A and B are shown apart, each in its own frame.
Chain A
Amino acid sequence: MTTTEKHDLLIDGEFIPATSGERFVTLNPATEEPITEVAAADKEDIDRAVESAHEAYPKWRSTAPEERGRLLTALAARIREETDYLAELETRDNGKPISQARSDVEGCARYFEYYAGIADKIHGDSIPLTDKYVDYTVREPLGVTGQIIPWNFPVNLVGRTIAPALAAGNVAVAKPAEQTPLSALKIGEFALEVGIPPGVLNVVPGFGATAGASLAGHPDVNAISFTGSVVTGRQVAKLGADNVTPVHLELGGKSPNVVFPDADLDHALDETITAIFATNAGQVCSAGSRLLVHESIHSEFVDRLATRASELTVGPGLEDPDVGPLVSSDQHRKVREYVEIGREEVGDPIVGGKTPDHDGYFVEPTIFDDVDNSDRIAQEEIFGPVLSVIEFSDEREAFELANDVDYGLVAGIFTSDVGRAHRFAHEMEAGQVYINEWFAGGVETPFGGYKQSGFGREKGLEAIESYTQVKNVCARIELE
């Protein structure tokens, strides 16, 4: 795989440099070495990309839905064909273990495949209004959609955010994160190869304050999808509000992973490792970053967890460890800073807390025990391999602690009591509830937040609703 190739903006079916000529370097987080230089879009480039999308929209919208579906199916196949290439690209750019990158590529292909199948099944309703009228609704695309894609699942989220938009007849201008722009550019290239017309999918890497803000605030953009922090999400929403543009915000979480004594504890242990350490080094919005464990099993469960965490392999993603590097120096600094805040709040972690003494943005899997739910490390999203353990004494307290956080993205429970599991599901202020499996669900299941975790839904059929608008048609048919 070349590391000297330069990457330009994909606008109107052509790869072109930024108008300013500016480029930025994307780094391999395992080595801190440059991978390549990428064109940095600013406002002028965003304007060009939106204009291109706008021009492509009428034809794409009027393309027969089954043909849109065929093209997206072909794109899914092309992505699968290049799984090895894309996975390696993703691992070099993001740092994640190669097996996880392969899974993300498959997820991306699945999104295009899934929404390809939906393209010709976007129906309206017929509404009875007596025999004097015929009334029906149609779901229509919104037009030009903007996707501001984060760095934690770059290739996967290209599929998640763009596939439903295109399937529903929209066109797209995607701004991948500046840390991880490479896979999105490659998917854009594949889209052209399989026959998706120029301008339907534009890919414009750049910085948030310039490219991202220009996209979110563009008057000809008809919907925005953003994944990131609450503060930045609010900025995106304000920019959208100026143009009365609908915005979907997915703003992270501080999700409770609640373990009861009646659970299969070996399984709960495996899933807890997956929830916070062995998936993208904890850089996951839906990570299980708060472990709520019953007092009767606290010591044994946490001791076993600490042993397992200390045995996890940490290393470069291409070696396929359990835990890869964090994505950037900024993220590395942030997570280490939270470890220090944790030391001040509850003392030394029972495992981890150190950074290996070599290049790369690595942090050991870290567990803080006996955390109070009001502590900052229990309330703020660290976005790294750092777990806060909180003890509870009964179901009521567990449920209250689980909800006692500003976020509401995910809540998970491990129990063999079906009634308790569903009481939990009923009471949780969260967009997703996992029962006896962390990250349960798939491309078919809607995903989004309650409370400060945002609004709007991606994935599943819900995403089609997010990317369409409803028109009601009412005809009086009774003759005078």
Chain B
Amino acid sequence: MSDPEEVSIEITDRARRVLTEIERERESNVALVLNDGCCDGMGPVAVEADTVGVSDVLIGETRDIKVYAPLIRENARTGYELAIDVVESEGVGSFSLEVSLGYRLTVVERRQ
């Protein structure tokens, strides 16, 4: 597992607000699972925190939001800075919880 200190993660105010809205609606904490591949993109997937899978590994935390990567990609982001934001979206093929609110989480990943 990556040392959380090796992945720097920040989240914008507006993204945190969207996640807060989801947490309020669902009466559940929200976590993010980083994704790649196929039709639903590399955007983080927002899930209810208690549904995070046993094969997801914690790579960091930002403003009380835990961020996970699938086990198979656990070291891929070592040394990266992640900037998580949200944009208004026309919809994407994702199960991510913010989509039905008309938003899509985004992530910009750069080496530190």
Q: Which of B35-70 contact A (CB under 8 A)?
A: 35-43, 45, 47, 51, 53, 55, 70
CA distance A24 to B90 in the complex (A): 8
Q: Which residues of A lie under 8 Å from residue B51 when comparing CB positions?
A: 235, 238
Which of A27, A208, A334 is within 8 Å of B90, CB to CB?
A27
Which residue in chain A gives the minimum CB-CB distance to B105? Answer: A330
Q: Which residues of A lie under 8 Å from residue B90 when comparing CB positions?
A: 24-27, 179, 328-329
Q: CB of B18 within 8 A of chain A?
A: no
Question: 28 A-B residue contacts at CB 8 Å?
Answer: A24-B90, A24-B91, A150-B39, A179-B92, A207-B91, A208-B93, A208-B95, A210-B100, A213-B95, A227-B38, A228-B38, A230-B72, A231-B70, A232-B35, A232-B40, A235-B51, A236-B95, A252-B38, A328-B92, A330-B41, A330-B104, A340-B110, A341-B109, A344-B111, A379-B76, A381-B37, A406-B72, A407-B37
1/0 per residue, CB under 8 A from B, across A2-42: the answer is: 00000000000000000000001111000000000000001
Q: Which of A26-61 contact B (CB under 8 A)?
A: 26-27, 42
With A25-B90, A209-B100 as known contacts, state yes or no: A380 contacts B109, CB within 8 Å. Answer: no
User: Judging by beta carbons under 8 Å apart, are A151 and B95 in contact?
Assistant: no
Q: Which residues of A lie under 8 Å from residue B87 when comparing CB positions?
A: 329, 333
1/0 per residue, CB under 8 A from A, across B74-101: the answer is: 0010000000000101111111110110
User: Judging by beta carbons under 8 Å apart, are A208 and B37 in contact?
Assistant: no
Which of A210, A212, A331, A341 is within 8 Å of B41, CB to CB?
A331
Q: CB of B73 within 8 A of chain A?
A: yes
Q: CB of B33 within 8 A of chain A?
A: yes
Q: CB of B1 within 8 A of chain A?
A: no
Q: Which of A210, A238, A334, A383 has the most CB of B within 10 A?
A: A334
Q: Which residues of A lie under 8 Å from residue B55 when comparing CB positions?
A: 234
Which of B39, B43, B76, B92 is within 8 Å of A152, CB to CB?
B39
User: Judging by beta carbons under 8 Å apart, are B95 and A177 in contact?
Assistant: no
Q: Which residues of B lie under 8 Å from residue A381 when comparing CB positions?
A: 36-38
Report how many A-B pairs have Cβ atoms within 8 Å: 137
Which residue in chain B gives the minimum CB-CB distance to A149? Answer: B93
The 10 closest A-B pairs by CB, nearest first: A252-B38, A381-B37, A178-B91, A150-B39, A380-B36, A208-B95, A231-B35, A252-B37, A177-B93, A229-B38
CA distance A119 to B68 in the complex (A): 45
Q: Which of A124-156 contact B (CB under 8 A)?
A: 150-152
CA distance A213 to B99 in the complex (A): 12
Closest beta carbon of chain B to A174's beta carbon, Å = 14
- Number of residues on chain B facing chain A (CB within 8 A): 39
Closest beta carbon of chain B to A252's beta carbon, Å = 3
Q: Which residues of B lie under 8 Å from residue A229 when comparing CB positions?
A: 35-41, 94
Q: Which residues of B lie under 8 Å from residue A234 when comparing CB positions?
A: 53, 55, 70
Which of A25, A235, A330 is within 8 Å of B95, CB to CB?
A235
Which of A27, A208, A379 is within 8 Å of B96, CB to CB?
A208
CA distance A283 to B39 in the complex (A): 8
Q: Which of B35, B42, B43, B55 has the most CB of A within 10 A?
A: B42
Q: Which of A93-118 contact B (CB under 8 A)?
A: none
Q: Which residues of A lie under 8 Å from residue B76 when comparing CB positions?
A: 376, 379-380
With A151-B93, A207-B100, A328-B90 as known contacts, state yes or no: A344 contacts B38, CB within 8 Å. Answer: no
User: Judging by beta carbons under 8 Å apart, are A228 and B40 in contact?
Assistant: yes
Which residue in chain B gives the minimum CB-CB distance to A22? Answer: B100
